[in-house]
Amino acid sequence: MEAVLEEIKSIIEEVKPIMEEVFHHLHTHPEISWNEVKTTQYIKKLLEYEGFEVQTFEDTTGLVVTYGSGQPCIGLRTDMDALWQELDGEYQANHSCGHDGHMTMAIGTLLVLKKLGIPRNGRLKVLFQPAEEVGKGALSFIERGLVDDIDYLYGVHLRPIQEINDGYASPAIMHGSAKTLKGSIRGNDAHGARPNQGQNAIEVMSLLVQAIHSIHLDPMIPHSAKVTMFQSGGQSANIIPGNGVFSIDLRAQTNELMSTLVEQVDRTINYVSDFSNVEITYDIISEIAAAQVDENAVKIMGQAISDTVGEEYLFPPIITPGGEDFHYYTLRRPSVKATMLGLGCGLTPGLHHPNMKFNQASLLTGIEILSRAVIGTLESGKEKK
């Protein structure tokens, strides 16, 4: 196995031109959530040309590649969708979260392991998952049973310089839980001179904002609840608006605290509704689970990082308030042992910035780390036997 591990770097150099071409194509052909049609077609054609069996779906985007046979089954997941944002004065799809890089690393890992003839015993299953940005893609794959046979599952995400410097890598990303609420206030309009005849949705919203700010939970666990949008009224300044719409962003570092936070926000909304004599309703339009990582998966990933870049560049697990639907895999399927590689790559100015950029050479480092993690997991299974 030592000879195989030494061979990885030369194979990565061999596939480097392909990886550069793949990244350029994916970066210049972004598609938003649930619309990754051409991305799916491109990856399918590429991997079938390389000799892989590819599973696609008639009713959704995304694809799955299984390589090898038997157990254990090592999973690798990558996200595919781009964001919709203003770029150069025009709204368009844009890969400003690094998913183009994630797909490139997943494809590169497949190519490297195939050239190494790995796995010899067991399977590698790569999930090209759509719709991460709307927090629904992982759930759709779970519902299809695509992770039911997976023992270990690895993910990867580029990290900004605010969290980790170029050249370093972390064996786990401790994302927080996130939920988005969208709601409405339904009262009655009134004449500006007769406020007693209606309800002022703006005043109701002001009360709701203050009440939400008064929610206090465990200060040792990061969390927040904040109103991120409110719209009410029209062009006629002498009408007191009775109706309005709003959104609330919720964050909590643990799933347990998120449950408590949702209960408190719901109680607060009901209180303001009763006090103001208006109907306030809301729906949870998106939600993402907090990270639940496996210690052994983290240990294997940490060793893969050390073997690739050196132990001095092994960074501790990253605690971040950002969200990732990757963690639904472990929340809904607790038997899956998972962690997500956090790859330092000099990413600036930040994730989701329209002009985000990073050191593309780091993608080759990520491919090596992921390849070594898969090999390390297979070797770990042999030792236990």
Nearest to 42 by CA among 31, 333, 32: 31
Distances (CA, A) of 281 to 54, 236, 270: 44, 26, 9
Q: Determine contact, residues 80/62, Cβ cutoff 8 Å.
A: yes
pLDDT of residue 3: 61
Residue whose tokens read 């003839």: 117
Q: What letter does residue 161 receive in the DSSP assignment?
A: T
312: its two tokens:
């001095």
Buried b (16+ CB within 10 A) or exposed e, 22-40: bbebbbeebbbbbbbeebb
Tally Cβ neighbours within 10 Å of residue 155: 26
pLDDT in tens, 232-289: 999 999 999 999 999 999 999 999 999 999 999 999 999 999 999 999 999 999 889 9
- Single-letter residue type at 2: E
Length of the chain: 385
Beta bridge partners of 282: 183
Helix axes 99-116, 37-49, angle to 10 degrees: 10
User: CA dist 278 to 4, 197, 272, Å?
Assistant: 68, 13, 8
In the three-class reduction of DSSP (H, G, I as helix; E, B as strand; rest coil), residue 295 is classed as helix
pLDDT by 10s per residue, the chain, length 385: 566 667 999 999 999 999 999 999 999 999 999 999 999 999 999 999 999 999 999 999 999 999 999 999 999 999 999 999 999 999 999 999 999 999 999 999 999 999 999 998 999 999 999 999 988 999 999 999 999 999 999 999 999 999 999 999 999 999 999 999 999 999 999 999 999 999 999 999 999 999 999 999 999 999 999 999 999 999 999 999 999 999 999 999 999 999 999 999 999 999 999 999 999 999 999 889 999 999 999 999 999 999 999 999 999 999 998 889 999 999 999 999 999 999 999 999 999 999 999 999 999 999 999 999 999 999 887 655 4
Place of tokens 């030369």: 10
- Residue 1's pLDDT is what? 57
Instruction: Indicate the residue type of 282.
Output: Y
pLDDT attached to residue 380? 85
Contact status, residue 321 vs residue 176, Cβ threshold 8 Å: yes
pLDDT at position 321? 83
pLDDT at 4: 65
CA 111, CA 117: separation in Å to the nearest integer?
10
Give me the pLDDT at residue 383, please.
Answer: 56
Separation of alpha carbons 188 and 201, rounded Å: 9
Does residue 104 contact residue 358 with C-beta atoms inside 8 Å? no
CB 129 within 8 A of CB 79: yes
Q: Which residues 6+ apart lie within 8 Å of 381 measured at CB?
A: 72, 122, 151
pLDDT for residue 6:
76
2-175+291-384 belongs to which homologous superfamily? Zn peptidases (3.40.630.10)
- Token look-up 């990558």 returns 78
CA nearest neighbour of 97 among 43, 158, 138 = 158
Q: Model confidence over 327-363: pLDDT tens digits?
A: 999 999 999 999 999 999 999 999 999 999 999 999 9
* Tokens describing residue 142: 């779970």
| Calpha distance 247→205 (Å, rounded) | 11
Give yes or no for a cis peptide into 30 (omega within 30° of 0). no
- Residue 319: beta bridge partners? 174
Three-state SS letters, 344-362: EEEEECCCCCCCCECCCCH
Domain parsing of the chain, residue ranges: 2-175+291-384, 177-288
CATH of 177-288, one of 3.20.20.140, 3.30.70.360, 3.30.390.30, 3.30.750.24: 3.30.70.360
Q: Which tokens go with 258?
A: 């998120």
Q: How far apart are CA 128 and CA 141, in angstroms?
A: 10
What is the identity of the amino acid at 227?
V
Collapsing DSSP to helix, strand or coil, 103 comes out as: helix
Look at residue 2 in the predicted model and tell me its pLDDT: 61
